[in-house]
A and B are shown apart, each in its own frame.
Chain A
Amino acid sequence: MKEKIRSKKQKFSAKLMWKQRYLLLMSVPFVIWLIIFKYIPLWGWTMAFQDVTPKSFAQPIWEREFAGFGNFTKAFTDRLFAQTMINTIGTSILGILLGTVFAILFALMMNEIRFNRFKKVTQTVSYLPHFVSWVIIASIAKMLLNDGGAVDTFLGTQLHLMSTNSPLFWVVVCFINVWKEMGWDAIIYLSAMAGIDQGLYEAAKVDGANRFKRIWHITLPSIKPTVTVLLIMSIGSALNVGMERQMLLSNGIVQDHAMVLSWFAYIRGIGNNNYGLGTAIGVFQSIVSIALLLIANKIAGMLGESKLV
Chain B
Amino acid sequence: MNTIKNSGKGEKAFDYVLAVIFVFIIAMTVYPFLNVLAISLNDPMDTMRNVNFIIPRVFSVSNYIYVFTENSLGGPFVMSIVRTLVGTAVGVICTAMLSYVLSRKDFYFNKLFTMLFIITMYVSGGMIPEYLLLTRTLHMSNNFLVYIVPGLIWVYNVILMRSFIEGLPMALQEAAKIDGANDFLIWAKIILPLCAPSLATVALFVAVGQWNSFMDTYLYARELPTLQYVLYEIMEKATIKIDPHAPAGTLQNAVSPMSVRMAITVIATVPILVVYPFLQKYFVGGMTVGAVKD
Contact = CB atoms under 8 A, between A and B. Distances in A.
A77 interface: no
Nearest to A293: B122
Interface of A is mostly: helix
Interface in B56-70: none
B25 interface: yes
A139 interface: yes
Contact of A144 (B3, B30, B35, B104): B35
Interface in A39-82: 39-45, 47, 57-58
A43 B264 CA distance: 40
Contacts of A139: 36, 231, 235, 261-262, 264-265
B49 to A, nearest CB: 13
Contact of A133 (B22, B212, B280): B212
B128 A269 contact: yes
Interface string A121-165: 110111111011111101110111000011001100000000000
B168 interface: no
B78 to A, nearest CB: 18
Interface residues of B, number: 96
Contact of B291 (A44, A116, A188, A210): A188
Given A37-B150, A131-B208, A278-B127, A136 B105 contact: no
Contacts, number: 270
Interface stretch (A83-91, A92-100, A280-288): A280-288
A5 B173 contact: yes
Nearest to B53: A150
Nearest to B292: A191
B108 A10 contact: yes
A202 interface: yes
A12 B261 CA distance: 60
A266 B284 CA distance: 35
A134 B174 CA distance: 46
A302 interface: no
Contacts of A41: 124-126, 129-130, 133
A270 B141 CA distance: 14
B175 to A, nearest CB: 11
A27 B125 contact: no
Given A38-B120, A143-B51, 9 more contacts: A41-B124, A41-B130, A45-B129, A112-B14, A114-B2, A127-B276, A131-B276, A194-B1, A275-B128
Question: What are the 9 tightest A-B residue pairs by CB atom distance, in nearest-first order?
Answer: A41-B125, A44-B129, A282-B126, A133-B212, A22-B183, A41-B129, A278-B128, A269-B128, A27-B101
30 contacts: A5-B173, A20-B107, A26-B101, A27-B98, A27-B101, A34-B153, A41-B129, A42-B124, A44-B130, A44-B133, A45-B125, A109-B21, A114-B2, A125-B29, A128-B30, A128-B33, A129-B29, A135-B212, A136-B269, A139-B36, A139-B261, A140-B36, A143-B35, A143-B261, A143-B262, A144-B35, A150-B35, A153-B52, A183-B29, A188-B291
